[in-house]
């Protein structure tokens, strides 16, 4: 008899694992259960009137040759290679990110002077515990106060001194992306400013559709190889027998029996009393009748008075994501109230005013604005999150994976790498989870 595998969650991690298992020569019956009406999870693409909108700036970049080979195997010729162009909005101007000498030259002189003094005030202690501790020890109090604190508190909705230091380890690295760019402390950052090395981060993007094209190709392979992908399926719990998981219960679709369950859905659904918290994001997809002056692919906004935390410009990933002569923006806003979730349109006037104030759009060019509530976009690392993970007591027959399932702040390439390792029975080390 074939071994029955059920994968809960049809995002990048779940689809990669399912595709690899169904492609193997092993006798495995694979079923993927996805709550949304299409596969992809956080890597879905919305379309309207010829405009394509990913959920934020999705792209493929990896230093792992196994992941790179897999990406190209799935995409085939259906990909383009493009250079990165990302910004941060500081002191009223757009500046390149990671920071360069040119991009910081216009910062207020007191900011530059105090950052220089911080080089001589290093006080790295073994007592580092919080995001604030970590960033101050690495970058100094001035840069922490000037950028990292406000951006982080705005983005997460949490005080910076109530977040685990892992949020800094993961967050800064995820924002920099390229391991060749050293920006993991103040000295590295200043060396990069004063003695810049020519680094051009390049990444893959699909040459048709949005990022969901990659997931659709995975889904096609899964079903072609005999696997099942069931969308619009709400999982309600697990069946257990003698301490082992034996099935997955669903709403209206019965129970799917299993010999092994891989869970890439939010771990908080499995362990509701464990205290795991996720961020929810409100995305506004804005269509524009003509091209604006935004020359970045994505940009970070740390100012608390500005509603959004990040903007993405799909045209700068691939021009045909918008109709000819048009443009678009994707604005990401962290949800911090019930009203924001239930009545997102009430933010329209403030959002458009903020966008105009940073010269991101001309109001007269707006064609439409689509609002999307995206739940569980990032895990929130409070000070006790590791203790919660260590105390889970995951039963036999159940494996956690992916950003939401293993409560791991990662990028798509990390999810793919983890799933590839699981499919082959290898261990996969999460980069910043080191004792």
Sorted by where each begins, the domain ranges of the chain are 3-43+62-78+210-273+381-423, 96-199, 278-379
Q: Report pLDDT for 171.
A: 72
Question: Is the sign of the CA dihedral 47, 333, 180, 169 positive or negative?
Answer: negative
User: Hey, do 3-43+62-78+210-273+381-423 and 278-379 end up sharing a CATH topology, with the first three levels equal?
Assistant: no
Residues with Cβ within 8 Å of 76's Cβ and at least 6 positions away in sequence, in order, are none
In angstroms, rounded to a whole number, what is the distance separating the alpha carbons of residues 138 and 131?
Answer: 11
Q: Report pLDDT for 342.
A: 92
User: Residue 2 pLDDT > 70, yes or no?
Assistant: yes
The domain 278-379 is placed in CATH, from the list 3.90.660.10, 3.40.50.2000, 2.60.40.10, 3.20.20.140, at: 3.90.660.10
Tell me the pLDDT band of 117, cut-offs 50, 70 and 90. Answer: low
Q: Is the peptide bond before 388 cis (omega within 30 degrees of 0)?
A: no
Tell me the pLDDT band of 181, cut-offs 50, 70 and 90. Answer: very low
Q: pTM for the whole thing?
A: 0.90
As given in the structure block, the two tokens for residue 67 are: 């992941």
Q: Report pLDDT for 110.
A: 73
CA angle 408, 409, 413 (to 5 degrees): 95
**First and final CA of the chain: distance in angstroms?**
42
Q: Report pLDDT for 178.
A: 45
User: Residue 122 pLDDT > 90, yes or no?
Assistant: no
In angstroms, the Cα distances linking 210 to 46, 190, 194, 260, 403 are 8, 37, 38, 32, 21
Helices 165-176 and 131-139 meet at what angle, rounded to 10? Answer: 60
3-state secondary structure 328-389: EEEEEEECCCHHHHHCHHHHHHHHHHHHHHCCCCCHHHEEEEEEEEEEEEEECCECCHHHHH
> Is the Cβ–Cβ distance between 237 and 247 less than 8 Å?
no
Q: Report pLDDT for 276.
A: 96
Mean pLDDT of 319-332: 98
Domain covering 3-43+62-78+210-273+381-423 in this structure, CATH number: 3.50.50.60
Tell me the pLDDT band of 185, cut-offs 50, 70 and 90. Answer: low
Mean pLDDT of 291-318: 96
In angstroms, rounded to a whole number, what is the distance separating the alpha carbons of residues 96 and 87?
Answer: 4
User: Residue 406 pLDDT > 70, yes or no?
Assistant: yes
Count how many residues are written for the chain. Answer: 435
In angstroms, rounded to a whole number, what is the distance separating the alpha carbons of residues 209 and 47?
Answer: 9
User: Residue 128 pLDDT > 90, yes or no?
Assistant: no
Nearest to 12 by CA among 421, 422, 425, 418: 418
Mean pLDDT of 426-431: 80
């Amino acid at each position: 008899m074939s071994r029955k595998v059920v994968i809960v969650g049809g995002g990048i991690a779940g689809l990669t694992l399912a595709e690899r298992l169904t492609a193997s020569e092993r006798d495995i019956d694979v079923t993927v259960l996805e709550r949304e009406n299409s596969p992809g999870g956080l890597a879905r693409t919305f379309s309207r009137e010829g405009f394509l909108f990913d959920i934020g700036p999705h792209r493929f970049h990896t230093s792992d040759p196994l992941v790179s080979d897999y990406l190209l195997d799935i995409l085939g010729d259906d990909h383009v290679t493009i250079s990165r162009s990302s910004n941060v909005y500081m002191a009223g101007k757009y500046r390149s990110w990671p920071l360069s000498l040119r991009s910081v030259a216009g910062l207020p002189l007191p900011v530059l002077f105090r950052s220089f003094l911080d080089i001589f005030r290093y006080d790295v202690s073994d007592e580092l515990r919080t995001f604030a501790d970590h960033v101050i020890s690495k970058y100094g109090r001035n840069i922490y106060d000037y950028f990292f604190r406000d951006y982080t508190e705005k983005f997460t909705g949490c005080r910076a001194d109530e977040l685990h230091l892992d949020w800094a380890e993961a967050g800064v690295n995820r924002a920099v992306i390229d391991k060749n760019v050293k920006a993991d402390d103040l000295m590295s950052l200043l060396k990069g400013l004063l003695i810049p090395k020519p680094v051009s981060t390049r990444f893959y993007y699909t040459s048709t559709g949005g990022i969901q094209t990659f997931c659709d190709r995975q889904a096609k392979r899964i079903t072609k190889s005999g696997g099942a992908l069931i969308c619009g399926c709400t999982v309600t719990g697990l069946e257990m027998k003698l301490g082992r998981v034996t099935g997955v219960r669903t709403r209206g679709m019965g129970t799917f029996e299993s010999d092994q369950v891989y869970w890439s859905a939010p771990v908080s659904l499995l362990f509701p009393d464990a205290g795991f918290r996720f961020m929810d994001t409100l995305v506004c997809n804005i269509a524009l009748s003509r091209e604006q002056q935004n020359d970045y692919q994505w940009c970070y906004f740390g100012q608390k008075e500005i509603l959004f935390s990040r903007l993405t410009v799909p045209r700068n990933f691939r021009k045909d994501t918008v109709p000819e002569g048009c443009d678009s923006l994707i604005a990401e806003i962290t949800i911090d109230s019930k009203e924001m979730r239930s009545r997102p349109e009430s933010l329209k006037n403030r959002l458009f005013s903020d966008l105009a104030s940073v010269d991101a759009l001309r109001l007269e060019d707006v064609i439409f604005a689509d609002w999307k509530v995206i739940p569980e976009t990032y895990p929130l690392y409070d000070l006790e999150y590791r203790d919660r993970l260590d105390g889970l007591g995951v039963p036999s027959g159940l494996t956690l994976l992916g950003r939401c399932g293993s409560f791991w702040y990662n990028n798509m390439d990390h999810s793919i790498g983890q799933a590839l390792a699981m499919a082959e029975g290898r261990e996969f080390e999460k980069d910043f989870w080191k004792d």
